[in-house]
C-alpha cells in the first residue's frame, strides 16, 4: 500500500459545479475591436487582433486579469499546494540526469541536470564510468541566482581545451556565444551576440588547432531591415582573442531567408559541414568546407538528404529518403564530394532510419519501429548487419562515438528512467554505464500496452496505453489522458516521467498516440499530415479517443487531452471540431490563428510545414481548420487550460490570448476557460525548475478536478 503522498481532493461534482460557476461570474469582459482582412478573395473578421500587441498597456492589463482569475481558480482546490510540495520532494530525490554527450580525447563533455538546481550545468568526466572525475566547466545557476540563464548548446574544441557555449535568459533562446577554458572553467573575454534564436537555433564548429570557430549569426542592426533581424542566418569565422567586429563572413548570403544552419567539424578539423534547413518543413541542403578553404555545395533541398555525418575514414555518411521514405544510407568520399559519387551501403527496409553514427570500424544505425527504437551495427561498407539488443518498447534518445571507437547511447522506456549504455569496439552486447537515472518512485506496477486505432480514412494509428496493473477495463470509468503531437516529422517515442506517478496513483490511464505528421513510419507518415493534409492529424487523434471510448477504457466525461506547440494546434482543432469528445483540455504554447501565424518571425519558418495564405489551396486548408476561426458562439466547450510564456519566440503568446478570448465569448457551458501566462518563461526551453514544477502542479490539479479524480485507489 502506498503512502498517502498528498491530501485527497475533496471536491464533489456539486462543489466543482459551484467553483466553475463562481469562476464564470468573476470573468472580466473582453472588448471586441473587429478588424477585417481579405485573403484570397475571402474577408475574415478578427475581433481580438488588438490582443496581439504584447507591449500595449490594455493587453497587459487583460493578460494580468486572466492570470489572476486562473490563479484564484486553481488555488481554490485544497491540494494544489500539497501537489506542488510533492513534486518538489520528488525532484529533490532524483539522481542527476546526463545528456548532450560529446567525446574528445580523454574526456567526455555533457550536460548535467541535478535538482534542486534550476538549470542544467556543463561538466566533464574522464569516462562514462568514472563519476568521481567530474569537473564543472560552467554552472549557469552560479551566474544567475534566479535560475533564468540557460545553456542553449555547447561545442568543445577538437582537443577539448576550450568550449564554446551559447547562453540565453528568461526562456528567450536569444543566445550569446561565450568561450571557456575546460580545465579551469575560466571565461575568455570573447563574446558574440545573437548567434542563437528560436527561429533557427544556432551552431558552431571549431577549426583544427582550436584557435577559432565557425559560427552561425543573425544580422545586426543596420545590416538588414529590422523586420529581418531574426532571419537570414549566415556563417562567420571568429578568431579567439579578437573582437567580433573583426570576424570574417564565410557563407550564407545566398541561403533562404528562413535558413536554419547546423555545423560540425571532422575529427581532424580538415572539413566543416554545414547542414542548411529550408525552414521547418524537413528539407536540407549540405555544404562542405575543405582543406582548400572553399565551400562546396554537395546536396540541394530536392535531393532528399535528411542527415549527414562526417566519418573518421575521409567519408561522409548520408541518410537519403529519395525513393526511400523510410531511409537508406549513402557513403560519399570526401576527396570527390559530389552526390553522384555516393554509393548506397544500407538499403531501405521496414525500419525508419533516424540516426547514423560512424566510428573507426563500424556504422551504427538508430531506427524507429513506429515509435520504439532499435540499433543496428554494420561495417563501414554496410555489410555484416547485427542487432544491438535494447529494452523492448524503448527509445534511443542519443548516440555518439567515443575516441576509442566505442558507441555510447541513451535508452529510456515508459517505465524505466534513462541510462547510458556502451558498446565497446568490436562488441555487440551493450553494458550499462554509471550514467544512469534513478526515479524517486517505482513504475514496477505500470503496464504498457501497444494497440491500434483506425482513422477516418482507414489508416492504423499506434497507441501506447499505460496503466496500473489491475486497473479495471470494460466499464469506461477510468480517467484517461491522451497526448500527441503530429508535426514536423517529430516522433513520439517512449519517454519516462516520474511525475506521472501522481496520475497512476489516482487511477489514471495515460495514452500516447503516434499520429500522422510525425516521423514514426518515415517521410510518408510526415507528409500525410502536413501542408494541405493537416486534417489527417486531427482525424487520427479523434480516432484514438474514439478507440479508448469504444474499448471502454474511458468515456468522454472522463477523458482529458494534452498537447503543446504544434500539439497545441492539435488541441485547438479538437476543441473546435470535437467539443463533446473530451471533458478537459491542457494546451501549452499552442498555435491557433493559422491565418496570421506566418507574420511572426518563427511563423515564417513554419510555412514549409503548415503552408501560407498566399497560396490559394493552402489558404483554403488553413482556413478550414484554423481553431481560432472555428469557435462557434453558443457551444458548450470542455474545460480548457491554456498555458503560454511571455518570452516565447517560437509561438507568439498572442495565439493563446486570442483563443482564450474567443472561447470565453462563445462558451455556454459552466466549464472554465483558463489562461496561464508565465512571465519568466518562453516556449519551455530554458524554463527554471521552480516554474516547471508550478506549471505541472497547475496541470495536475486542473485535470484531477475536471475528471473527478478524487482519491488514490489502494491507499
CATH assignment at residue 407: 2.40.10
Q: Determine, yes or no, domain membership for 300.
A: no
**pLDDT for the residue numbered 680:** 79
Beta strands in 157-233 (DSSP E): 162-169, 175-181, 187-196, 204-206, 212-217
- Answer yes or no: do 434 and 445 share one domain: no
Give the per-residue SS3 of 380-392.
CCCCCCEEECCCC
**pLDDT for the residue numbered 15:** 56
Q: Which of 411, 438, 465 is the last residue of a domain?
A: 438
Beta-ladder partners of 309: 317
Residue 648 catalytic? Answer: yes
Residue 708 has a CB neighbour count (10 Å cut-off) of 18
Distance between CA atoms of residues 573 and 571, nearest Å: 5
CB-count exposure of residue 502 (10 Å: 0-12, 13-18, 19+)? buried
Distance, C-alpha 397 to centroid of its chain:
12
**pLDDT for the residue numbered 4:** 32
Distance between CA atoms of residues 466 and 506, nearest Å: 13
- Answer yes or no: do 610 and 694 share one domain: yes
Beta strands in 313-445 (DSSP E): 315-320, 328-333, 343-346, 352-358, 362-368, 373-379, 386-388, 394-401, 407-413, 419-423, 431-436
Grid coordinates in use for 97?
540526469
Q: Which of 438, 464, 491 is the last residue of a domain?
A: 438
Beta strands in 565-624 (DSSP E): 584-588
- Answer yes or no: do 19 and 79 share one domain: yes
Q: Helix, strand or coil for residue 213?
A: strand
**pLDDT for the residue numbered 8:** 35
- Answer yes or no: do 458 and 429 share one domain: no
> What is the arrangement of strands in the sheet containing 419-423, beginning at the earlier edge strand?
394-401, 407-413, 419-423, 431-436
Distance between CA atoms of residues 79 and 81, nearest Å: 6
Q: Please pick, among 491, 648, 656, 678, the residue that the annotation labels catalytic.
A: 648
**pLDDT for the residue numbered 25:** 58
Residue 401: domain span: 351-438
**pLDDT for the residue numbered 21:** 57
Q: Determine, yes or no, domain membership for 460.
A: yes
CATH of the domain at 39: 3.40.50.1820
Q: Determine, yes or no, domain membership for 610.
A: yes
Tally the domains of the chain. Answer: 2
**pLDDT for the residue numbered 371:** 86
Q: Determine, yes or no, domain membership for 496.
A: yes
Q: Please pick, among 565, 588, 626, 680, the residue that the annotation labels catalytic.
A: 565
Q: At what angle do helices 689-706 and 13-26 cross, to 10 degrees?
A: 120
- Answer yes or no: do 383 and 528 share one domain: no
Kindly report the average pLDDT of the chain as a whole number.
93
**pLDDT for the residue numbered 441:** 96
Distance between CA atoms of residues 421 and 645, nearest Å: 36
- Answer yes or no: do 463 and 426 share one domain: no
**pLDDT for the residue numbered 20:** 64
Grid coordinates in use for 299?
546536396
**pLDDT for the residue numbered 602:** 83
Distance between CA atoms of residues 470 and 498, nearest Å: 20
- Answer yes or no: do 584 and 624 share one domain: yes
Global pTM value? 0.90
**pLDDT for the residue numbered 686:** 81
Give per-residue burial for 462-499: e unless 16+ CB within 10 Å, then b: bbbbbbbeebebeebbbbbbbbbbbbbbbbbbbebebb
Q: Which of 416, 438, 460 is the last residue of a domain?
A: 438
Nearest residue to 275 via CA among 231, 229, 224, 216: 216
Find out whether 433 and 129 touch, Cβ atoms under 8 Å: yes
Q: Determine, yes or no, domain membership for 591.
A: yes
**pLDDT for the residue numbered 714:** 38
Question: Which residue is listed with cell 503512502?
Answer: 3
**pLDDT for the residue numbered 28:** 63
- Answer yes or no: do 26 and 39 share one domain: yes
Distance between CA atoms of residues 277 and 97, nearest Å: 30
- Answer yes or no: do 404 and 535 share one domain: no
Distance between CA atoms of residues 591 and 650, nearest Å: 10
Q: Determine, yes or no, domain membership for 218.
A: no
Provide block-wise average pLDDT over 10 residues at a time, the chain (715 residues): 32 57 64 96 97 93 94 94 96 94 97 94 97 97 92 97 96 94 97 93 96 96 93 97 97 96 96 95 95 96 97 96 96 96 96 95 94 94 95 93 94 96 90 96 95 98 96 90 96 94 96 96 95 98 98 97 96 98 96 94 89 97 98 98 87 93 96 91 82 95 94 45
- Answer yes or no: do 483 and 574 share one domain: yes
State yes or no: cis peptide before 581, omega within 30 of 0: no
Find out whether 395 and 376 touch, Cβ atoms under 8 Å: no
CA dihedral 650, 91, 492, 602 (to 10 degrees): 0
- Answer yes or no: do 563 and 481 share one domain: yes
Q: Helix, strand or coil for residue 112?
A: strand
Grid coordinates in use for 679?
512571465
Convert the pLDDT of each residue in 324-337 to its tens digit.
Answer: 999 999 999 999 99
Q: Determine, yes or no, domain membership for 121.
A: no
Q: Determine, yes or no, domain membership for 395.
A: yes
- Answer yes or no: do 560 and 470 share one domain: yes
Amino acid at each position: 500500500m502506498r503512502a498517502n503522498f498528498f491530501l485527497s481532493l475533496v471536491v464533489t461534482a456539486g462543489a466543482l459545479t459551484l467553483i466553475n460557476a463562481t469562476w464564470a461570474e468573476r470573468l472580466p469582459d473582453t472588448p471586441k475591436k473587429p478588424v477585417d482582412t481579405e485573403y484570397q478573395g475571402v474577408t475574415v473578421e478578427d475581433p481580438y487582433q488588438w490582443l496581439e500587441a504584447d507591449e500595449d498597456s490594455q493587453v497587459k492589463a487583460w493578460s494580468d486579469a486572466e492570470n489572476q482569475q486562473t490563479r484564484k481558480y486553481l488555488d481554490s482546490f485544497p491540494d494544489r499546494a500539497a501537489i506542488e510540495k510533492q513534486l518538489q520532494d520528488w525532484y529533490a530525490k532524483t539522481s542527476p540526469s546526463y545528456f548532450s554527450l560529446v567525446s574528445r580525447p580523454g574526456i567526455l563533455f555533457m550536460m548535467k541536470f541535478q535538482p534542486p538546481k534550476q538549470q542544467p550545468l556543463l561538466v566533464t568526466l574522464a569516462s562514462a564510468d568514472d563519476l568521481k572525475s567530474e569537473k564543472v566547466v560552467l554552472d549557469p545557476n552560479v551566474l544567475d541566482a534566479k535560475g533564468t540563464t540557460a545553456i542553449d548548446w555547447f561545442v568543445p574544441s577538437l582537443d577539448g581545451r576550450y568550449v564554446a557555449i551559447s547562453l540565453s535568459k528568461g526562456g528567450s533562446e536569444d543566445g550569446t556565444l561565450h568561450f571557456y577554458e575546460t580545465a579551469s572553467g575560466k571565461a575568455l573575454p570573447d563574446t558574440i551576440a545573437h548567434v542563437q534564436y528560436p527561429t533557427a537555433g544556432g551552431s558552431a564548429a571549431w577549426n583544427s588547432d582550436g584557435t577559432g570557430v565557425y559560427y552561425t549569426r543573425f544580422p545586426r542592426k543596420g545590416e538588414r531591415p529590422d523586420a529581418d533581424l531574426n532571419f537570414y542566418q549566415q556563417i562567420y569565422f571568429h578568431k579567439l582573442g579578437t573582437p567580433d567586429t573583426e570576424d570574417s563572413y564565410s557563407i550564407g548570403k545566398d541561403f533562404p531567408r528562413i535558413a536554419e544552419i547546423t555545423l560540425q567539424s571532422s575529427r581532424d578539423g580538415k572539413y566543416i559541414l554545414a547542414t542548411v534547413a529550408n525552414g521547418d518543413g524537413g528539407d536540407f541542403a549540405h555544404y562542405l568546407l575543405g582543406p582548400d578553404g572553399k565551400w562546396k555545395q554537395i546536396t540541394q533541398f530536392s535531393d532528399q538528404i535528411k542527415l549527414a555525418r562526417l566519418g573518421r575514414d575521409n567519408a561522409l555518411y548520408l541518410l537519403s529518403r529519395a525513393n526511400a521514405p523510410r531511409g537508406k544510407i549513402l557513403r560519399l568520399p570526401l576527396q570527390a564530394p559530389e552526390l553522384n559519387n555516393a554509393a548506397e551501403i544500407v538499403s531501405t527496409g521496414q525500419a525508419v532510419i533516424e540516426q547514423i553514427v560512424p566510428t573507426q570500424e563500424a556504422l551504427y544505425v538508430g531506427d524507429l519501429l513506429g515509435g520504439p527504437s532499435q540499433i543496428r551495427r554494420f561495417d563501414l561498407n554496410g555489410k555484416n548487419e547485427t542487432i544491438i539488443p535494447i529494452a523492448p518498447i524503448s527509445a534511443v534518445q542519443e548516440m555518439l562515438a567515443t575516441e576509442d571507437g566505442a558507441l555510447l547511447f541513451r535508452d529510456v522506456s515508459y517505465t524505466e528512467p534513462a541510462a547510458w549504455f556502451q558498446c565497446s569496439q568490436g562488441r555487440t552486447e551493450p553494458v550499462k554505464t554509471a550514467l544512469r537515472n534513478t526515479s524517486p518512485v517505482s513504475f514496477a506496477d505500470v503496464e504498457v500496452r501497444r494497440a491500434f486505432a483506425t482513422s477516418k480514412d482507414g489508416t492504423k494509428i499506434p497507441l501506447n496505453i499505460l496503466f496500473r496493473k489491475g486497473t479495471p477495463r470494460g466499464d469506461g470509468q477510468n480517467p484517461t489522458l491522451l497526448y500527441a503531437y503530429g508535426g514536423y516529422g517529430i516522433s513520439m517515442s517512449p519517454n519516462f516521467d516520474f511525475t506521472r506517478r501522481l496520475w497512476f496513483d489516482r487511477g489514471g490511464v495515460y495514452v500516447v498516440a503516434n499520429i500522422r505528421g510525425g516521423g514514426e513510419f518515415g517521410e510518408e507518415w510526415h507528409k500525410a499530415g502536413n501542408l494541405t493534409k493537416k486534417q489527417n492529424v486531427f482525424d487520427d487523434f479523434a480516432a484514438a479517443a474514439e478507440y479508448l471510448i469504444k474499448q471502454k477504457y474511458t468515456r468522454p466525461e472522463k477523458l482529458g487531452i494534452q498537447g503543446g506547440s504544434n500539439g497545441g494546434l492539435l488541441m485547438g482543432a479538437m476543441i473546435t471540431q470535437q467539443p463533446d469528445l473530451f471533458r478537459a483540455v491542457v494546451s501549452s504554447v499552442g498555435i491557433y490563428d493559422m491565418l496570421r501565424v506566418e507574420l511572426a518571425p518563427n511563423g515564417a519558418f513554419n510555412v514549409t510545414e503548415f503552408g501560407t495564405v498566399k497560396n490559394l489551396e493552402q489558404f483554403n486548408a488553413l482556413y478550414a481548420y484554423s481553431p481560432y476561426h472555428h469557435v462557434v458562439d453558443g457551444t458548450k466547450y470542455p474545460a480548457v487550460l491554456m498555458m503560454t510564456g511571455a518570452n516565447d519566440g517560437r509561438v507568439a503568446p498572442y495565439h493563446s490570448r486570442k483563443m482564450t478570448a474567443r472561447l470565453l465569448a462563445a462558451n455556454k457551458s459552466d466549464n472554465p476557460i483558463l489562461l496561464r501566462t508565465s512571465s519568466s518563461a518562453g516556449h519551455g526551453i530554458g524554463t527554471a525548475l521552480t516554474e516547471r514544477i508550478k506549471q505541472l502542479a497547475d496541470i495536475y490539479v486542473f485535470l484531477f478536478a475536471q475528471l473527478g479524480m478524487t482519491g488514490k485507489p489502494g491507499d
